[in-house]
Structure 1
Amino acid sequence: MRQKRVIGILTWREGQRFSEPDYLRRLVKAGWKLGAEVYVFSHQDVNAKERRIKGFTPKTGGGWESKSYPWPDVVIDRYRKRVPQYMKLRHSGLFDFANSPFSKKWRVTQLLAEDERVSRWVPETYVYTKGKVMAMLRRHPLLYIKPGNGTGGRSILKVAAVGKQYQLQGRDKQYGKHQVRVDNAAAVENWVKRWVTKQRISDGNFLVQQGLDLALMPNRVADVRLLIQKDGDGLWDVTGCGVRMGASGSSTSNLHGGGKAIPFEAFMTKRFGEDGAQRILDECHTMAHRIAHTLEERFGRMMEFGLDIGVDVSGRAWLIEVNPKPGREVFRQMGSMDTYAEAIARPMKFALYIARNGEGLPEKKRKGAG
């Protein structure tokens, strides 16, 4: 009788505390449903000498149980903290990973901006340095100052020209709101300098990015979260997308900041009509496929990407950010439970495809990866 395929999920843990425990539970159960042996583990759980893993699985009624498991055929990497022990394991060659090491947001933005296949979707972006804000304000009436290694809408500052003044608003590291008006670009530069110093996340840099007018509803920012994943045949496919609409007066659409998720077709049809909504959807799909292929060429085999896409008031689509370890809560929040279930199952389907076929792009050790 053929043995079950073994899939490991690498993540951060401390005791029985895990990053994103709810998602990990669902991912393990999706793998079980597909007939695989699946467990969660962290860097400290690997016994390379005996080729055994201390793995964790969800218990009925909550909590986790652990035991010794066989070596995985394929590992899905969901580790989000770049600690040295993780980085060492990630580059050790011990496992066949479904997804390759990725790079920092700034390097990815730079790579895409320089590639003619995808550059038209990338807003003008630079690493923050003294004088850069003033220079950008001469070209764009709206800017975003954001951490190159941030998530969840933290530490993002919006700078907008309002008449002869500038309005600055954002959320700090604790999601606290800040808003101020200043009279000139020099004052903006000074204010941003203080923000960057105080709101830095670990040792990351900040980016200065061309702002987009995403106010598709009065006093609200909206953007599109699109999920593109490998399917069970190893092919890229858009699983789904939804619109995230920010809270009234918020400078971001992030769901952590009080935003809400709305089905794409309903929202875009209301704003741009049926034909306009379909044109924007097609553009978003084209963008997602081209970006996925471009990044996979550069970094090696990948499994999924979450794209944050801005649709400006003229209906033009722009790439705001790409995330190689995306969430999928937008589908649950807008009530698309079939899409949500498929978004969880697909990483497992792809991992099993690799385990069965040993195909797909291998990991590439290239300069800049990781």
Structure 2
Amino acid sequence: MSLTTCSIIITQQSEKVITISRSLSKALQINTARPIILKLGNKSVSAHVKLWNREGHVMSIPHVLSSSIYLPASGKCMVKSSNGREIQLGPLIGVLAGPASNSAVLPFGGRTGFIREFMQAGANKAYYFAFAANHVDWNREVVTGYFLDANGKWIRRTVPLPDVVYNRLPSRRAENSAAMSAFKTKFVNRKIPLFNWSFFDKYDIYRLLDGEQEASKHVPESINNPKADEIRRMMEKHRFVYLKPDAGSLGIGIYRLTYTPNRGYFARFRRNGINVLIRFPRFDGLFKMLQRHNLKLQYYVLQQGVRLIELENCPIDFRFHLTKNGSNQWVASGIGAKKAGKGSVTTHVRSGGMLMMPEQVLKSVFGSRGDQVLENAKNVAIRLAEAIERNYPHTLGELGFDLGIDQNERVWMFEANAKPGRSIFKLPSLKAQGRTSLVNLFEHCQYLSRFRPRREG
């Protein structure tokens, strides 16, 4: 396969002839003696080719031809040819972003900024657009999506079905609907890669890792839909445990339950923006409080507590943002340390937590061994991602892990997220890692859409 970048110019000439520079013709090994097939997504058109004495890789396409393949605009993208008789433009990357508004500035609300950043990561190498389910016309196999024009403004254009779909649907409820599952399956049935199929529930991940001997040793003991006697037994065994909503996020609804012999049972949680701590002399009192809070335990996971490393008596955990790269390998694109707020159940910033650099934290705790501890945690995160991928039925391209490290340097995995947030990249010293994560995602889109060399097998 011949593959390169190219400048595309859409003209108003009436002649149905594609003009390409000699250097581009040579790079793609084009046979100009016969018509070629020009493709974008699943649309194609046949046309004659003329050579052009112009420097660089340039292709001129008359509007009468570009419109037949729904080419959205002039610009730069990748171009490939496998046999010299067919030219494929692309990749055409679709971001499934959820319902759009009428706003010209923020068509996808608070998600718009991230979508814009992702598109800029592969600028001049692809055609990017964002879309919602109702923007797809399956009969015509086209999508009317949102593109960024040369001035950075959002415009709508109709294009073929994409070469690859990056799923960033924001609603867990909508995504779990039968209609949305059927919608996504239509892409897969057309052999269009779609990655990050859906949100994970916490216990789903623990179940996926059940048969993975190496990976499962990093998962704390966990029980789905716990009963009262299981909560008591786990508290007495581990001294403290966490009750977490199975489909929760952002630390909302989490309880830390502690048992101290001769002192009783303690519950720590956050309510109305305040960190709360209550002591109970007997377990029955604690469990009745949970009942008063209307906890539906069938939707909760009970998890062993782990004594994590601390700074200033505050626990520290780590967010590992993993992405696939252009070689289809997992890499740790970004790592942030999170220090819990005083009296907080979790390390989330909204609960008083603080973002820090992992190197700074691990050096404070482990001294000169800090770098080695961090490298080991990276390797664990990658092995966990590979184990989840082996057991997950859909394509993955991005994962977020909440990991902890104890005083014995053992790494623990508390949660995995298929649509990780990007809050760690707000830390100024992590902004470069944030950009790297987006470049990795773009290059993985190139890989999935076969606009990047790959080794098969």
- Residues in 1 aligned to 2:181 and 2:109: alpha-carbon distance in whole angstroms: 18
Alignment of 1:128-143 (within 5 A): 128-131=225-228, 132-143=230-241
Distance apart, 1:167 and its partner CA: 2.1
- Residues in 2 aligned to 1:335 and 1:298: alpha-carbon distance in whole angstroms: 35
Change (3 A) 1:197 1:290: same
> RMSD across aligned C-alpha pairs, in angstroms?
2.7
Alpha carbons 2:322, 2:331 under 8 Å: kept? yes
Question: Would you say 1:229 and 2:323 are equivalent positions?
Answer: yes
Change (3 A) 1:310 1:152: same
Question: Would you say 1:5 and 2:103 are equivalent positions?
Answer: no
Distance apart, 1:196 and its partner CA: 5.3
Per-residue displacement from partner, 1:244-278 (whole Å, max 9, x unpaired)? 11222211101232322111111111111121x23
Question: Would you say 1:87 and 2:181 are equivalent positions?
Answer: yes
Match of 1:28 in 2: 119
Change (3 A) 1:116 1:206: same
Alpha carbons 1:28, 1:57 under 8 Å: kept? no
Amino acid at match of 2:420: P
Change (3 A) 1:285 1:215: closer
Match of 2:162 in 1: 72
Amino acid at match of 1:321: E
- Residues in 2 aligned to 1:295 and 1:315: alpha-carbon distance in whole angstroms: 23
- Residues in 2 aligned to 1:176 and 1:65: alpha-carbon distance in whole angstroms: 44
Amino acid at match of 1:139: K
Unaligned runs of 5+ in 2: 1-58, 60-78, 80-88, 102-106
Distance apart, 1:360 and its partner CA: 9.1
- Residues in 1 aligned to 2:376 and 2:130: alpha-carbon distance in whole angstroms: 37
Alpha carbons 2:97, 2:108 under 8 Å: kept? no
**Residue among 213, 236, 250 paired with 2:344:** 250
Change (3 A) 1:358 1:86: farther
Change (3 A) 1:59 1:205: farther
Distance apart, 1:223 and its partner CA: 0.3
- Residues in 2 aligned to 1:160 and 1:26: alpha-carbon distance in whole angstroms: 43
Change (3 A) 1:64 1:205: farther
Alpha carbons 1:143, 1:160 under 8 Å: kept? yes
Distance apart, 1:319 and its partner CA: 0.5
Alignment of 1:281-296 (within 5 A): 281-296=374-389
Match of 2:250 in 1: 152
**Residue among 122, 133, 136 paired with 1:46:** 136
Amino acid at match of 1:13: P
Alpha carbons 2:251, 2:348 under 8 Å: kept? yes
Amino acid at match of 1:76: Y
Which consecutive segments of 4 or more residues in structure 1 shift more than 6 A? Answer: 59-63, 358-361
Per-residue displacement from partner, 1:19-45 (whole Å, max 9, x unpaired)? 633212211222325x11101111111
- Residues in 1 aligned to 2:288 and 2:153: alpha-carbon distance in whole angstroms: 49
- Residues in 2 aligned to 1:295 and 1:56: alpha-carbon distance in whole angstroms: 33
Question: Would you say 1:297 and 2:394 are equivalent positions?
Answer: no
If each structure's strand is expressed as a fraction of its own residues, which one has the higher value? 2
- Residues in 2 aligned to 1:88 and 1:256: alpha-carbon distance in whole angstroms: 36
Distance apart, 1:62 and its partner CA: 8.7
Partner secondary structure for residue 256 of structure 2: strand
Amino acid at match of 2:205: V
Change (3 A) 1:71 1:62: same
Alignment of 1:102-181 (within 5 A): 103-131=200-228, 132-162=230-260, 164-172=263-271, 175-181=273-279
Distance apart, 1:98 and its partner CA: 3.3
Partner secondary structure for residue 429 of structure 2: coil
Query: What is the number of residues matched between the two proteins?
Result: 355
- Residues in 1 aligned to 2:363 and 2:340: alpha-carbon distance in whole angstroms: 18
Q: TM-score, normalised by structure 2?
A: 0.71
Change (3 A) 1:125 1:60: farther
**Residue among 295, 304, 307 paired with 1:197:** 295
Whichever of the two has the greater Rg, that structure is: 2
Amino acid at match of 2:283: A
Amino acid at match of 2:252: R
Distance apart, 1:52 and its partner CA: 1.2
Partner secondary structure for residue 238 of structure 2: coil
- Residues in 2 aligned to 1:79 and 1:144: alpha-carbon distance in whole angstroms: 28
- Mean alpha-carbon deviation: is it higher for 302-311 or for 160-169? 160-169
- Residues in 1 aligned to 2:147 and 2:348: alpha-carbon distance in whole angstroms: 31
Change (3 A) 1:236 1:216: same
**Residue among 352, 373, 376 paired with 1:280:** 373
Alpha carbons 2:219, 2:414 under 8 Å: kept? yes
Alpha carbons 1:219, 1:249 under 8 Å: kept? no
Change (3 A) 1:37 1:207: same
Match of 1:183 in 2: 281
- Residues in 2 aligned to 1:19 and 1:308: alpha-carbon distance in whole angstroms: 24
Distance apart, 1:68 and its partner CA: 1.9
Distance apart, 1:14 and its partner CA: 4.3
Change (3 A) 1:205 1:102: same
Question: Would you say 1:354 and 2:448 are equivalent positions?
Answer: yes
Kindly indicate whether structure 1 or structure 2 has the higher relative contact order, using CA contacts under 8 Å at least 6 residues apart: 1
